[in-house]
Amino acid sequence: MIITDTLLTSFLKTRSDSEEICAPLEIEDYVIQPIVDVSPPKWHLGHTTWFFEEFILAKYAKDYKRFHPEYAYVFNSYYESIGKRVIRTNRGNLSRPTVSDVYEYRDYVTSHLQALLEENEDKEIFKLVEIGIHHEKQHQELLLTDIKFILGNNPLFPKYNDTFTENSASNISSKYITVESGVYEIGYKGTDFCYDNELGVHKVLLNEYSISNKLITNKEYLEFIDDNGYKNSLLWHAEAWDWIQNGDIKSPLYWYTIDKQRYQYTLQGLKELNPEAPVTHISYYEAFAFSQWKGQRLPTEFEWEVAQLNFKWGERWEWTESAYSPYPNYKKAPGALGEYNGKFMVNQKVLRGGSVATPQNHTRPTYRNFFHPQLRWQFTGLRLVKDN
């Protein structure tokens, strides 16, 4: 059956992609959690597996025997309604299950799920597998950024590999694209997969605005630093100002100055800063302060979605001014799967676009990513808007 075939292919590819991302790692790299936001790679590999076991195999696979009775406890992330979870700050304190155990667990679940798909035509299952695939793709992006954090905060600055390119310079020239005021439709209208938070297609009224066709570069960001941007309290939110004081923040994450030369840690190791590459690893707070300094502003997520056909995007997740909130008529899925998105809709900012770490076909113009405003370990970036 065609649908199953495609789904199965997609499922198997996703499973092997996750493992390929981890291929350059040493076993030790799989284990640690240097900050609370970064999870150990072996946890990602186990958690995405548990998702398929918990929500599909345990329910739909006849006589399914769980791989290990305690793994649900170890690999649950935040599904409070499913049971007690390992507190997020403790994930890096678990040396067991080992990496090898986790790969066995993966194989076990992958093959059972493959069997289930091959003998089954239940649309409900297909839908859940699709969610599981997209869930795992999200974690692939986190895997890359978490690996970068694990390696990039090590005093030995080990590299991930020699091929992952994250800082291409763009040679297009900068200009502002004007969007006329009017009523626009927002939200996902297609028939492929999307998350519940993109649904509820609805209209919004926008004023005229002009949006840059290009991301802010390292060079432009350096001008902000050199103009004492980090020292001028008037540019910053009150909470941001406390954050830069307490954390002694003076530049984006992963920037180092050695003998007066600026370097940036990348997945290929420590490299001289490329002035023409788009700035990355900045918080919303920094993106906002930069925009204030420029006398411009960040786009709302609606302005971004309406304008996006007119510029290239996908290298950096772009901070927007929009707080992460439900769309009109947002419906949470019932039960534990309803915990996927809705419960995070407070105190976070929406990012739009995608990044060099995003798996192929995993983002789209309506995709809504979200993070707390101080977080920087994703490949975040910044695009400006002018009012006319």
Out of 105, 221, 236, 319, which residue is the one contacting a second copy (CB under 8 A)?
Answer: 236
Distances (CA, A) of 239 to 181, 195, 235, 236, 340: 33, 31, 12, 8, 28
Out of 2, 123, 155, 309, which residue is the one contacting a second copy (CB under 8 A)?
Answer: 155
> What residue type is 80 in one-letter code?
E
Q: Return the structure tokens found at 28.
A: 């030790």
76: left (phi over 0), alpha (psi -120 to 50) or beta: beta
CB 258 within 8 A of CB 318: no
Interface segment toward a second copy; rule CB under 8 A; list 12-20, 59-67, 228-236, 253-261: 228-236
Residue 80 contacts a second copy per CB under 8 A = yes
Residue 272 contacts a second copy per CB under 8 A = no
Sign of CA dihedral 98, 100, 104, 110: positive
Residue 151 contacts a second copy per CB under 8 A = yes
**Dihedral pair phi/psi, residue 294, rounded to 5°:** -80, -10
Min dist CB 133 to a second copy, Å, is 23
Out of 237, 271, 294, 386, which residue is the one contacting a second copy (CB under 8 A)?
Answer: 237
Residue 36 contacts a second copy per CB under 8 A = no
Out of 2, 23, 172, 205, which residue is the one contacting a second copy (CB under 8 A)?
Answer: 205
Min dist CB 97 to a second copy, Å, is 7
Out of 9, 16, 98, 174, which residue is the one contacting a second copy (CB under 8 A)?
Answer: 98
- Of residues 288 through 327, those in contact with a second copy by CB under 8 A are 288, 297, 321-323, 325-326
For 256-317, give the DSSP string.
Answer: EEETTEEEEEETTEEEE--TTSBP-S--HHHHHHHHHHHT-BPPPHHHHHHHGGGS---SSE
Measured CA to CA, the distance from residue 364 to residue 184 in angstroms comes to 17
Out of 115, 127, 328, 361, which residue is the one contacting a second copy (CB under 8 A)?
Answer: 328
Residue 27 contacts a second copy per CB under 8 A = yes
Residue 259 contacts a second copy per CB under 8 A = no
Min dist CB 212 to a second copy, Å, is 18
Out of 21, 22, 57, 99, which residue is the one contacting a second copy (CB under 8 A)?
Answer: 99
| Cβ-Cβ contacts under 8 Å for 372 (sequence gap 6 or more) | 347, 348, 349
For 42-110, give the DSSP string.
Answer: HHHHHHHHHHHIIIIIHHHSTT---S-TTHHHHH--S-TTT-----GGGGGG---S-HHHHHHHHHHHH
Residue 329 contacts a second copy per CB under 8 A = yes
Residue placing its CB nearer to a second copy in the complex, 9 or 207: 207
Crossing angle (nearest 10°) for helices 123-152 and 41-52: 170
User: Which residues make up the interface to a second copy (CB under 8 A)?
Assistant: 26-34, 42, 70, 73-74, 78, 80-81, 86, 90, 92-99, 150-151, 153-156, 158, 183, 202-205, 207, 233-234, 236-241, 284-285, 288, 297, 321-323, 325-326, 328-329, 335, 338-339, 343-347, 349, 373, 387
